[in-house]
Amino acid sequence: METIKIAWRNLWRNKRRTLITSASVFFAIFLALLMRGFQLGSYDLMVYNIVHAYSGYFQVHATGYWDDKIINNSFEYTPELQQKISEVPEVDGYALRLESFALGSFGMQTKGVMVTGIVPDEENQLTGLQKKLVEGSYLLPDDDGALVSQKLAKYLKISPGDTLVLIGQGFHGMSAAGIFPVRGIVHFPSPDLDSRMVYLSLPSSQGLFSADNRLTSISFNVPDVKKYEKAAAILKGRLDPATYEVMTWKEMMPDVVQQIQSDNVSGLIMLGILYMIVGFGIFGTILMLFSERTREFGMMIAIGMPKLNLIRIVVTELFMTGFLGVIAGIVAAVPLLYYFHIHPIPITGEMAETTIQMGFEPIMPAAWEASYFLGQSLTVVIIMLVVMILPVVKISRLTVITALRK
């Protein structure tokens, strides 16, 4: 306790030196938290947009479907399967789908399309499909009509009230042909989805492809994003792997995971450079501190203070200085990060257009989670501990005669 009192008094004997050192730590933790917060926030937004655009956090398919996406690799939606899904507590909802390809036609225009049979209410809860409606009306549960994506509708020159013709191949080689009145037009930020999507009600799509009570996928949502892997693992353990496969969005989209990982590495490198600059700044400040106080240290040793006690006092001083900088940095960064978490920075101009074309919202949110606050604080503390080696070594080697000559 006495060591802490002496160290605290020593800090304010030279306020300028203390404030310079604390300021170095303050700016390190402040800038690191802002950089990391916006970086992790962009990843969270990317994942949210991807899973809520179509895929869900994880899906159930028939085994082998993901490698060969044909309707013959669909599965029957049985009461036993429904029961096992309902027993997973982490699941917040799921969407049943029957997906296949067909030729869409209106008048003289024809194009290959992705036909997705959905339960309208379930799909809307998972992906917000109804919010993407730009013209016409949304599907009803047993609707015999269709929703067409905006770019596809423009290509086919089709509007709500017109009739879309679909021709393809059904389950086990059955012919698939049908005519569907267009109920509405939906817009997707992703150009790929916007140029090929056709939505039917699940009964209509099952009738079109002669696939009664069959599905190609079940997409799941979770209330807590951090628990989707746990929910997927629980469901995977309850289903027969010879019949069903459970895949998370990471397994279905490894290219997105690689993109996030590579960007994360570049962000960590930038943080490393920042910490290196700050570390050398703190090192220089401590070197100056030791040079200014060498005579003082020599006198304290000369009057009988053990070197170990002197080392404890100096280390405590440095730790307090770093602690003040860390606390000040966190206090300054937290309100900004929380504000930008609730009110993301809007992206404008050409960058906004590029972001929208990629299928993402043109905003820059900040992540709001304790892990990176703790991680950055611990990193700065470790830097301080490493820098503390210098005064420890110098004091341990210090001789009274050499010190008093300074």
> Is residue 22 domain-shared with residue 78, that is, in the same domain?
no
**pLDDT digits over 49-94, tens only?**
778 778 889 999 999 999 999 999 999 999 999 999 988 888 888 9
Domain tally for the chain?
A: 2
Same domain, 322 and 390: yes
Q: Please say whether the dihedral angle defined by the alpha carbons of residues 79, 84, 88 and 89, taken in this order, is positive or negative.
A: positive
On whether the CB atoms of residues 188 and 54 are closer than 8 A, the answer is no
Asked if 270 and 184 sit in the same domain, the reply is no
Q: Given pLDDT bands bounded at 50, 70 and 90, which one contains residue 402? A: confident
Rounded to the nearest 10 degrees, the angle between the axes of helix 389-397 and helix 370-387 is 20
pLDDT at 71: 93
Residue 220 CB-half CA count within 13 A = 31
| pLDDT at position 244 | 94
Which among 134-138, 294-298, 330-334 has the top mean pLDDT? Answer: 134-138
Instruction: State how far Cα 28 lies from the chain centre.
Output: 24
Is residue 233 a part of any domain in this protein?
no
**Does residue 96 register a pLDDT over 80?**
yes
What phi and psi values does residue 158 have, to the nearest 5 degrees? -115, 150
pLDDT of residue 403: 65
Residues 66 and 143 in one domain: yes
pLDDT higher than threshold 80 for residue 406? no
Give the tokens for residue 20: 């310079």
Distance CA 118, CA 83 (A): 20
Domain edge (last residue) among 198, 221, 244:
221
Question: Do residues 179 and 114 both lie within one domain?
Answer: yes
Inside any domain, residue 236: no
Last residue of a domain, one of 221, 246, 274: 221
Is residue 191 a part of any domain in this protein?
A: yes
Tell me, yes or no, whether 143 lies in a domain.
yes
Region 120-146: what's the mean pLDDT? 92
- The pLDDT, as a whole number, for residue 158 is 95
Pick from 178, 204, 221: which residue ends a domain?
Answer: 221
- Quick one: 44 and 156 in the same domain? no
Within a domain: residue 102? yes
> Do 269 and 360 belong to one domain?
yes
Q: What is the mean pLDDT of residues 361-385?
A: 81
Select, from the ranges 85-89, 109-113, 375-379, the one with the highest average predicted confidence (pLDDT). Answer: 109-113
Closest C-alpha to 231, from 76, 87, 81: 87
Q: Averaged over 175-193, what is the pLDDT?
A: 89
d(CA 276, CA 160): 61
- Mean pLDDT lowest for which of 128-132, 240-244, 382-386? 382-386
Q: Is the pLDDT of residue 346 over 90?
A: no
Q: Is 12 part of a structural domain of the chain?
A: yes
Residues 32 and 95 in one domain: no
**The predicted structure's pLDDT at residue 88:** 85
Indicate whether 157 belongs to any domain.
yes
pLDDT at 212: 93
Q: What is the CA radius of gyration of the chain?
A: 31
Same domain, 65 and 127: yes
CA 368 – CA 302 distance, rounded (Å): 53
Are residue 347 and residue 211 in the same domain, yes or no? no
Q: How confident is the model at residue 14 (pLDDT cuts 50, 70, 90)?
A: confident
Instruction: Please indicate, yes or no, if residue 147 is contained in any of the structural domains.
Output: yes
What is the tens place of the pLDDT at every residue in 258-309? 888 888 888 888 888 888 877 787 777 777 777 777 787 778 878 888 888 8
Whether residue 287 sits in one domain with residue 306: yes
**Residue range(s) defining the domain that contains residue 99:** 58-221
216 pLDDT more than 80: yes
328 and 346 assigned to the same domain: yes
**Lowest pLDDT segment from 16-20, 228-232, 287-291:** 287-291
- Quick one: average pLDDT of 165-172? 93
Asked if 284 and 102 count as a contact pair (C-beta separation under 8 A), the reply is no
117, 140 Cβ separation under 8 angstroms: no
| pLDDT confidence bin for 359, thresholds 50/70/90 | low
